[in-house]
Amino acid sequence: MTSAGPLDGVTVVDLTRALAGPHAGMMLGDMGARVIKVETPGKGDDTRGWGPPFVGPNEEIATYYLSCNRNKESITLDLKSDDGKQVLTKLIEKSDVLLENFRTGVLDRLGFSMEQIQEINPRMVILSITGFGHDGPQTGRAGYDQIAQGEAGLMSMTGPNPQTPTKVGVPIADLLSGMYGAYGVVSALYERERTGRGKVIRTSLLASVIGVHAFQGTRWTVGKDLPKAEGAFHPSVSPYGLFSSADGLVQIAVGAESQWQKFAPAFGFEPNDPAYATNGDRVRNNAQLIPAINQAFSAYSTPDLLAKLNELGIPCGEVKDLQQVYEWDQVRSQGLVIDVEHPVLGQIELPGPPLRMFDGESEWKREHTAPPELGADNDAVRAWLGLDA
């Protein structure tokens, strides 16, 4: 597949910083869009200073920044200056998408309200990400991932017990906002093919976390059963979770009654015991079932236990650290580790995009570029706009 990608020809002006907006921009760049990252002179994106770890000859490059800015160009603009406003206006005129995650009202004060942007370019698709929403009683409130995880209920359902609310190990509210935002942008670009006009897409960290409450949400809204943290076990399926072998940890997911009928006798359980006969019975009796399974599993090493579970057809797995993940041949076979050439660091590996695209048997693979140095593309972008460097 030799095309430049499904979003080839789309130009994105990325005014965002930190993670939610940059992640959306990176997703669009992965699909072939040209993404021009606009940064503050001398400082750049906040994540350039988020560390340790820092890498490079003088430890000047934050690995955090490297995680969310591949396949982009970087220019520096002072948006309060006449020059900065002129360049941004030109960018809006010539581009298709604008991403922003300023606090509500900041762009308006700079002279680039949603209405003004669409006057400059009626075809512009605008993605605006906030912390808690663009209106309502808490509009304008600063949005940070862990605060949003707590306020949106995620931490109340995560952790070893209800007394220990726990955040997810990655900034999931930011990442979800970026993903939902990119999905909105692509949808609006598709609609623009029919209408000829752009759209304003709005999402927030709050909305994105609530958007993935899934069965836990309806558990409360319909069932009035308040979810709580239950450690590494599923609240509605059993046995499903993290168990101990003789020398480690193993996860299992017995998600069907046919699987229980195979699992139970293999580990000393009577499958039709009234306490365990149905999934509902097992969930209600988890307090006794989980320790009993741990006791049965204690007779096996992790490799032997996984082999037996696989032979039975029981979904299972171990718990890997990230070194094991990125060295895993399955991960590499899926293109989830990519090589890029960085101007300071040389060849480095980055986590790769989670989508693969095929045309028949041929796979499209873009040539990825490293996250740019601050202002690396100032001259090239200004030349493209017809402005002096």
Which one-letter amino acid corresponds to residue 177?
S
According to the 3-state scheme, what is the secondary structure of 243-299?
EECCCCEEEEECCCHHHHHHHHHHCCCCCCCCCCCCHHHHHHCHHHHHHHHHHHHCC
At which residue do the structure tokens 């041929």 appear? 362
Of the candidates 150, 176, 151, 152, the one whose C-alpha atom is nearest the C-alpha of residue 164 is 150
Let me know if 165 is exposed, middle or buried by CB neighbors in 10 A (0-12, 13-18, 19+): middle
Among residues 49, 44, 42, the alpha carbon closest in space to that of 63 is found at 49
> What is the separation, in whole angstroms, between the first and last Cα of the chain?
37
Is residue 68 a contact partner of residue 47, using CB atoms and an 8 Å limit? yes
The verdict on whether 78 is a catalytic residue reads: no
**In the chain, where do the E strands start and end?**
11-14, 34-39, 54-55, 61-62, 73-76, 97-100, 125-130, 200-204, 240-244, 249-253, 316-317, 337-342, 346-351, 357-359, 362-364
Cα(121)–Cα(197) distance, rounded to whole angstroms?
9
Residue 133 near residue 204, CB atoms below 8 Å: yes
Active-site entry in 14, 30, 174, 377: 174
Measured between alpha carbons, how far is 70 from 87 in angstroms, rounded to an integer? 23
Q: Residue 175 is encoded by which pair of tokens?
A: 């990442």
Neighbour count for residue 324 (Cβ, 10 Å): 11
Instruction: Cite the active site residues.
Output: 174
